[in-house]
Amino acid sequence: MITSGNANNYFVKAILFLSPIPDAAVKRSFTNQLIINQKQKNMQQQTQNGSVTVENTVPSTATFTLTLSKLLQGASPVIANAKCEFTYIWDFTKNMGLAHLISIDNCAVNITLHPLGIAGTLDFMSDIPPTNYVINGQRVVLNRIILDINLANNARSGAIMFNNDGSVIEATDNFDAASTARFTK
């Protein structure tokens, strides 16, 4: 049943799936955003009803450094203990934002990371093809970058897949190894 409270969602879904949008990734992004919006509305309603108490400790914007000290895949790291500077901005009222990998070991890379729409976290992933960069005078290929921020405790983790074939994955110590499935999508 369509009510005034959810009419916009149905309208957006109808436009999204009936309109010829050429890029499947765009459709996925819109769909993920709709899911996030609905989950957050449900959470707000539960909180207002007193059934759930959620305290958000995550700031709407931050810049910070994560060290990739764990080798998840591959024989040896491409960049041992890579120091990755990230930044993000997130509008919690609109559930919209972006993140960026600014640099690796103080070498600028400026890669945009897009939200994934996973409940309970701010998860971001790059959408670049394998791309050459020079880090500390060494040519490396960055394949995919992930940044995770836990909304409950502001824990931050990240990982980078290196090489054209993705043969090396380096991550922070607290990165969930089960999350490596996202690298294959």
| Mean pLDDT confidence for 30-59 | 53
Say if residue 56's pLDDT is above 90: no
Q: If 0-12 CB within 10 Å is exposed, 13-18 middle and 19+ buried, where does residue 110 land?
A: exposed
* Nearest CA-CA partner of 109 in 94, 95, 126, 89: 126
pLDDT band of residue 7 (cuts 50, 70, 90) is very low
Percent of the chain at pLDDT > 90 equals 56
Residue 117, by phi and psi: left (phi above 0), alpha (psi -120 to 50) or beta? left
The whole-angstrom separation of Cα 180 and Cα 156 is 16
Range in 39-48, 132-141, 151-160 with the lowest mean pLDDT: 39-48
CB atoms within 10 A of CB 54: 12
Say if residue 16's pLDDT is above 90: no
Question: β-strand 131-135 against 138-150: which pairing, if any?
Answer: antiparallel
Three-state secondary-structure class, residue 168: strand
Find the helix packing angle between 7-18 and 24-48, rounded to 10°: 170
What pLDDT shows up at residue 118? 80
Half-sphere exposure of 26 (CA within 13 A, CB side): 8
The whole-angstrom separation of Cα 95 and Cα 26 is 16
- Does 115 or 55 have the greater pLDDT score? 115
Q: What is the pLDDT of residues 66-92, one digit of tens each?
A: 999 999 999 999 999 999 999 999 999
pLDDT band of residue 167 (cuts 50, 70, 90) is very high
Say if residue 43's pLDDT is above 60: no
Three-state secondary-structure class, residue 11: helix
Q: What is the mean pLDDT of the chain?
A: 78
The pTM score is: 0.69
